[in-house]
Amino acid sequence: MFRNSPYWHRFLTQDRPGLAQKRPISSPRMRVYLPCDAHEAHSPPLLPPSREILPKNAIALHLPFVAHLAHRCYNPPTMKGRIVYNPTAGPRDVERELQRVRKALAKRGWEIEIVTTHHPGDAKRLAREAAEAGLDGVWVAGGDGTINEAVNGLVGSRTALGILPVGTGNMWARQLHLPVYTLASPFRLREAAIAQLEGEVRAVDVGRIGNRYFLLWAGIGFDALITAELEPRSRPMKRLGPIPYAIAAITLARNYSGVRAHIALDGRIVRGRALLVLVSNVQTYAFFPIARQARLDDGRLDVLIFKGLGISYIARHLVRAFSGKPLQDPRTVYRQVRRITVDTEIPISVQVDGDPLGTTPVAIRVVPRSLRVMVPPQAPADLFVEGADR
């Protein structure tokens, strides 16, 4: 076999998708790197060890060896994937750029098909079908809501999640420090795809509420009321970015005084009037760094309970969050837990990854390392437990 001979080859690994690991062809007199994907090819003709071979005349001197490479090394792509595109998530010209992404991935050893969603739940179905077919990766071209659907189709499978951020918030992309698509910089979509290929695949935790998984966070209270007010948004409203959220937040804050809650954190009880209960799997919330201790693979969820009464406390918590110091407020309770239950005196709205999900009471738990995700090299190192298995 090629891999067992003194010759080495280039191959794609499952945990580092698209990253070509170059191994040298060695003799006592030379070392050459070859771009070859032949996993099971027979050993090529040996290079004569007694002659010094220069790269410029290697082809002329060793035609049998070159003929072997031509026959063996240019095989079909070894990685298969699917791009799940939500056409309502971004500008209308995204599809043209996705074709360029597909070609860029093809050059790096991926065979990619592009499929389009038409109805809510399609991304989950298409991702689950890809996992059942044994595809190596599913790339989601959409916003955080589309990513959430795909997550629900991929949890527990070996298929890795990649993202092509074309949505409004793109919170998961920003957490990983990925480039985000804009009309002014459409090439960033290809940059995001290539960055993930150059990184690695990591197993991360997800949260679960009933039969619904979430990758980012679940919110109970104030933010969920805003989400219920706005979602689903039309394309023109999505183009306004965070402006509709800011307007809705100001409007709702005038009359929102929180709700009395009974919260169990791994069995420990917290009672009081809560404005917002945030259950986070990541370090950032919206554009605020609020849970710097959070790790994506530590088997825990980070819970923040923002207590208070009325708009003055809402403003106070927002200022603390904006300054990156939400935990310094004595009215904020912070815990790392595996399970949390929230019950309120009156039913209050719940959201997951920016989509409405009914009302309280709710029970939430972590599902450790149940989702494989592509992580680019520039992602913050402190997102993961140091020394944890991939």
Residues 33 and 147 grouped into a single domain: no
Residues 219 and 337 grouped into a single domain: yes
Residues 247 and 273 grouped into a single domain: yes
Residues 93 and 176 grouped into a single domain: yes
In this prediction, residue 236 carries a pLDDT of: 63
Domain containing 340 equals 214-370
Length of the chain: 390
Sign of the Cα pseudo-torsion (142, 145, 150, 156, in order): positive
- Quick check: is 209 in a domain? no
Residues 37 and 163 grouped into a single domain: no
In this prediction, residue 183 carries a pLDDT of: 81
- Quick check: is 235 in a domain? yes
- Quick check: is 387 in a domain? no
| Per-residue tokens: 323 | 């300054």
In this prediction, residue 156 carries a pLDDT of: 97
Residues 231 and 309 grouped into a single domain: yes
In this prediction, residue 251 carries a pLDDT of: 82
Domain end call among 166, 198, 230: 198
Rounded distance between C-alpha atoms, residue 325 and residue 322, angstroms = 8
Residue-by-residue DSSP string for 302-334: EEEEEE-SSHHHHHHHHHHHHTT-GGGSTTEEE
Nearest CA to 199 out of 339, 8, 387, 16 is that of: 16
Sign of the Cα pseudo-torsion (347, 211, 84, 279, in order): positive
CA distances, 311 to each of 226, 256, 320, 323, 327 (Å) = 14, 7, 14, 18, 19
In this prediction, residue 208 carries a pLDDT of: 98
Q: Are 297 and 366 in contact (CB under 8 A)?
A: no
Residues 130 and 30 grouped into a single domain: no
CATH number for the domain spanning 297: value is 2.60.200.40
In this prediction, residue 8 carries a pLDDT of: 30
Residues 54 and 92 grouped into a single domain: no
User: Residues of the chain whose pLDDT is less than 50?
Assistant: 1-63, 65-75
In total, how many domains does the chain have? 3
- Quick check: is 241 in a domain? yes
In this prediction, residue 15 carries a pLDDT of: 44
- Quick check: is 377 in a domain? no
Q: Are 172 and 216 in contact (CB under 8 A)?
A: yes
- Quick check: is 389 in a domain? no
Residues 339 and 222 grouped into a single domain: yes
Rounded distance between C-alpha atoms, residue 321 and residue 327, angstroms = 8
CATH number for the domain spanning 131: value is 3.40.50.10330
Say whether 23 sits in a helix, a strand or coil. Answer: coil
Q: Are 203 and 369 in contact (CB under 8 A)?
A: yes
In this prediction, residue 139 carries a pLDDT of: 97
Rounded distance between C-alpha atoms, residue 304 and residue 290, angstroms = 9
| Per-residue tokens: 11 | 């191959």
Residues 360 and 232 grouped into a single domain: yes
Domain end call among 38, 72, 106: 72
Residues 193 and 224 grouped into a single domain: no
Domain end call among 139, 164, 198: 198
- Quick check: is 381 in a domain? no
- Quick check: is 173 in a domain? yes
Q: Are 52 and 109 in contact (CB under 8 A)?
A: no
Residues 218 and 361 grouped into a single domain: yes
